[in-house]
């Protein structure tokens, strides 16, 4: 709590109150997100705990304080989801001399203990796991007969559930963000075009390798594995003033409903039909096995999901009564 308070005092408040702030309001929000709200929550949390400690007895309870404040801990979700974006914002802003000077001067103050702004920004991300560890320790050292035992256990269960849910949402958000990056990375022609970012799709894996083009020509390519398709893009070099740059040109998508993965000594084959297939070459047997495993696992998971969806739809449909029932 101390260092999050310092972040508010050393960075957020000066930026808000300065006549000529180093950052715009929009950049400050992008960087610090709900850091100030988190600090207010922690201040309230500490105050309530201190009130109990001031009148401490062997029967004093604090589990109810944790339980009452668990809903407010959900603000960490907004902060954590914004964290990666904040790091990119920080990298961009640090290139500005005025901003860099502001951060350096703040870091040099004794209160900051030589910690830079990035060190402060990571702290709320680490907070929820520490609440879990604290509650686990309290539960461990609280006898079952103590009046606070049930509340502490309940608070631990709630914070663990919140942390698990937050981690799952963060993972999904990261996967979705990666789809946007893939879309921006691919060059598509009018003839070969598809939407990469769709609601159900998530990114799984990517890598560079070689594939056999027409007439046996070998070409460098990039293969993207999603939860429902695999996307092939070929390397295309573009000469710029400062040198070559690589562009990845979209070639085709492999649909998991019909795709067949075939391992061979040189790599693997992705087959869509008897006439449509691509041969991929790898540098080692281990690399080939890794690709086959990734593709097979993604395809199996997708087919399983589709089968479960189909079963759910069938169960939801009202059964038609037989004509014999009407006759009887």
pLDDT of residue 321: 55
Question: Would you give the distance in Å from CA 112 to the centre of its chain?
Answer: 29
From first to last of its 328 residues, the chain has per-residue pLDDT tens of 678 888 899 889 988 888 888 888 999 999 999 999 999 999 999 999 999 999 999 999 999 999 999 999 889 988 988 888 888 899 899 899 999 999 999 889 888 888 889 988 988 888 889 999 999 999 999 999 999 999 999 999 999 999 998 888 888 778 878 888 899 889 988 888 888 988 889 899 999 999 998 778 899 999 999 999 999 999 987 655 555 678 899 999 999 999 999 999 999 999 987 778 899 999 999 999 999 999 999 999 999 999 999 999 888 876 655 554 454 4
pLDDT of residue 245: 74
pLDDT of residue 315: 87
pLDDT of residue 324: 47
Strand order in the sheet with 277-281: 186-187, 243-255, 229-240, 218-226, 203-212, 277-281, 267-271, 260-264
We find that the CATH architecture of domain 2-183 is Up-down Bundle (1.20)
**Domain residue ranges in the chain:** 2-183, 203-315
Q: Which fold has domain 203-315?
A: PH-domain like (2.30.29)
pLDDT of residue 159: 94
């Amino acid at each position: 709590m101390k260092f999050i308070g310092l972040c508010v005092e050393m960075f957020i408040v000066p930026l808000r109150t300065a006549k000529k702030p180093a950052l715009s309001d929009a950049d400050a929000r992008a960087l610090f997100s709900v850091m100030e709200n988190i600090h207010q929550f922690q201040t309230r949390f500490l105050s309530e705990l201190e009130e109990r400690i001031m009148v401490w007895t062997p029967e004093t309870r604090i589990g109810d304080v944790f339980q009452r404040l668990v809903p407010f801990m959900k603000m960490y979700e907004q902060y954590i989801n914004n964290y990666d974006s904040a790091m990119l914002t920080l990298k961009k802003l640090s290139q500005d001399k005025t901003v860099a000077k502001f951060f350096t001067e703040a870091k040099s103050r004794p209160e900051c203990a030589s910690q830079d702004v990035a060190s402060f920004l990571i702290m709320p991300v680490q907070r929820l796991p520490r609440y879990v560890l604290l509650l686990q320790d309290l539960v461990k050292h609280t006898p079952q007969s103590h009046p606070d035992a049930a509340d502490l256990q309940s608070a631990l269960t709630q914070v663990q559930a919140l942390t698990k849910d937050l981690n799952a949402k963060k993972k999904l958000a990261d996967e979705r963000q990666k789809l946007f990056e893939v879309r921006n990375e691919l060059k598509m022609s009018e003839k070969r075009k598809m939407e990469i970012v769709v609601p159900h799709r998530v990114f799984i894996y990517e890598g560079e390798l070689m594939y056999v083009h027409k007439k046996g020509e070998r070409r460098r390519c990039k293969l993207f594995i999603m939860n429902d398709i695999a996307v092939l893009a070929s390397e295309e070099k573009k000469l710029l003033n400062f040198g070559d740059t690589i562009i990845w040109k979209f070639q085709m998508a492999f649909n998991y409903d019909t795709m067949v993965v075939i391992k061979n000594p040189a790599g693997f084959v992705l087959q869509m039909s008897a006439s449509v297939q691509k041969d991929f070459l790898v540098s080692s047997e281990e690399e080939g096995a890794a690709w086959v495993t990734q593709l097979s696992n993604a395809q199996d998971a997708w087919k399983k999901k589709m089968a479960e969806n189909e079963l759910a739809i069938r169960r939801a449909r009202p059964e038609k009564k037989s004509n014999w029932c009407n006759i009887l």
